Structure 1
Amino acid sequence: MKSSLLQLYTRELDRFASEIELYEHEVSLWKLAMNISNSSGSLCLHLVGNLHHFIGKHLGNTDYVRQRDAEFSTTDVSKAILLQEIDVAKQMVITTLTNLPEGKLQENYPIEKNGETVTTEYMLLHLFWHLSYHVGQINYHRRLLDS
Structure 2
Amino acid sequence: MLIETLTMLFSRDLNILKSEIESYQNESTIWKIQNGIANSAGNLCLHLLGNLNMYIGAEFGKTGYIRNRALEFSLKDIPRKVLLQKIDETIVVVENALNTITEEDLKIEYPLLVLKDKTSTEFLLIHLTTHLAYHLGQINYHRRLLET
What TM-score do you get using the length of structure 1 for normalisation?
0.96
Which residue in the other structure is 2:127 paired with? Answer: 126
Superposed displacement of residue 146, structure 1? 2.4
AA in 2 matched with 1:99: T
Q: Percent identity?
A: 44
Superposed displacement of residue 115, structure 1? 4.3
Instruction: Describe the superposition over 1:30-83 as per-residue Cα deviations: whole angstroms up to 9, x where unpaired.
Output: 111111010000001111111111111112222111111111110000110000
Structure 1 runs of 4+ off > 2 angstroms? none
Counterpart check, 1:43 vs 2:56: no
AA in 2 matched with 1:39: S
Q: Partners in 1 of 2:93 and 2:53 — Cα distance?
A: 8
Which residue in the other structure is 1:9 paired with? Answer: 10
Which residue in the other structure is 1:23 paired with? Answer: 24
Write the mapping of 1:82-93 to structure 2, written as runs, cut at 5 A: 82-93=83-94
Which residue in the other structure is 1:145 paired with? Answer: 146
AA in 2 matched with 1:92: V
Q: Partners in 2 of 1:92 and 1:102 — Cα distance?
A: 19
Which residue in the other structure is 1:58 paired with? Answer: 59
- Number of residue-to-residue matches in the alignment: 147
Q: Aligned with 2:38: secondary structure? A: coil
Q: Aligned with 1:65: secondary structure? A: coil
Residue segments in structure 2 that go unaligned for 5+ positions in a row: none
Deviation larger for 105-114 or 131-140: 105-114
Q: Partners in 2 of 1:113 and 1:64 — Cα distance?
A: 16
Q: Partners in 2 of 1:140 and 1:92 — Cα distance?
A: 27
Deviation larger for 104-113 or 88-97: 104-113
How large is the RMSD of aligned CA atoms in angstroms? 1.0
Q: Aligned with 1:66: secondary structure? A: coil
Q: Partners in 1 of 2:30 and 2:116 — Cα distance?
A: 34
What TM-score do you get using the length of structure 2 for normalisation?
0.95
